[in-house]
């Protein structure tokens, strides 16, 4: 099975995406931080592509896509995704979103219900009122340069990157050398983490998260599957 690396221009931005297979269309939407289509979905694309037409984009600010210095929000990515689909000539599709990508998939489904045939949310953003240690997270995003310095330290030190990954993984032994190397490569790309820093500053407010869709879930008519790790340390299981 061949997984193609492709690029397309969307509203003046050069966007990278992975494509494979044929059949009904499904989009795999990666998360935030220093994620990318490849990091989240490299083990998922090929099995799905045996019977589906799979697209996995790198969001603006991530992976191989352009990284403009703009304000990144859930609303921005929701609008961008509609433009991305339109550019590809795709009218409707199934959406699978993980973490931030799940929040974007949720927002898009609520805004354009006729364009989403099925929805899968994996440890999704948009279902929780607060982050773990919310007040501390808020201060972390507001203290000048603290967020930026932390990402810079992770970029400079492979050892610190391993420590960071072991903290957020339920099973620290699952943090392989290969994973550390892959994440480290992503972080070293010019402009990496800038989008997520911007996203955090906009989304994490003192009194809660800006994007919460819980009160609107009853509006979703598409067949929906929620998948959530019981031991997720970033998006608690109770949110599902």
User: Per residue in 44-99, pLDDT tens?
Assistant: 999 999 999 999 999 999 999 999 999 999 999 999 999 999 999 999 999 999 99
Burial of 154 (0-12, 13-18, 19+ CB in 10 A): buried
In which domain, by residue range, is 66 found?
A: 4-239
pLDDT at 32 over 90: yes
Q: Sorting pLDDT into bands at 50, 70 and 90, what band is 106? A: very high
Q: Sorting pLDDT into bands at 50, 70 and 90, what band is 25? A: very high
Domain count, the chain: 1
What pLDDT sits at residue 240?
A: 67
And the tokens for 129? 């009122």
In whole angstroms, what is the distance from residue 33 CA to residue 99 CA? 10
**What's this model's pTM, rounded to 2 decimal places?**
0.93
- Residue among 194, 186, 202, 197 nearest 69 (CA): 194
In whole angstroms, what is the distance from residue 56 CA to residue 28 CA? 5
What pLDDT sits at residue 101?
A: 98
Positive or negative, the Cα torsion across 112, 121, 52, 34? positive
Cβ atoms of 198 and 71 closer than 8 Å: yes
Phi and psi of 106, rounded to 5°? -60, -50
Mean pLDDT of 178-190: 89
What pLDDT sits at residue 184?
A: 87
In whole angstroms, what is the distance from residue 88 CA to residue 209 CA? 32
Percent of all residues in the chain with a pLDDT value above 70, rounded to a whole number: 100
Q: Between these two residues, 116 and 157, which has the higher pLDDT value?
A: 116
- Residue among 9, 139, 181 nearest 87 (CA): 9
Mean pLDDT of 9-18: 98
Interhelix angle 146-156/158-168, rounded to 10 degrees, is 110
**Which CATH number characterizes residue 69's domain?**
3.40.50.1820
In whole angstroms, what is the distance from residue 200 CA to residue 73 CA? 8
């Amino acid at each position: 099975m061949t997984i193609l690396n492709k690029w397309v221009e969307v509203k003046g931005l050069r966007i990278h995406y992975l494509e494979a297979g044929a059949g009904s269309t499904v989009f795999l939407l990666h998360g935030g931080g220093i994620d990318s289509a490849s990091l989240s979905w490299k083990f998922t694309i090929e099995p799905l592509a045996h019977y589906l037409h799979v697209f996995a984009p790198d969001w603006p600010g991530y992976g191989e896509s352009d990284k403009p210095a703009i304000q990144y929000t859930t609303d921005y990515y929701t609008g961008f995704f509609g433009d991305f689909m339109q550019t590809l000539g795709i009218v409707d599709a199934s959406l699978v979103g993980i973490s931030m990508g799940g929040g974007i998939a949720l927002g898009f489904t609520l805004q354009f219900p006729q364009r989403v045939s099925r929805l899968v949310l994996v440890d999704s953003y948009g279902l929780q009122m607060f982050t773990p240690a919310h007040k501390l997270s808020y201060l972390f995003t507001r203290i000048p340069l603290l967020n930026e310095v932390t990402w810079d330290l992770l970029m400079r030190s492979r050892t610190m990157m391993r420590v960071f990954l072991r903290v957020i993984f339920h099973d620290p032994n699952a943090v392989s050398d290969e994973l550390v190397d892959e994440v480290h490569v992503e972080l070293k790309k010019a402009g990496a983490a800038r989008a997520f820093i911007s996203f955090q500053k906009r989304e994490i407010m003192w009194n809660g998260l800006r994007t919460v869709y819980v009160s609107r879930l009853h509006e979703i008519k598409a067949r929906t599957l929620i998948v959530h790790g019981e031991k997720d340390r970033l998006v608690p299981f109770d949110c599902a």
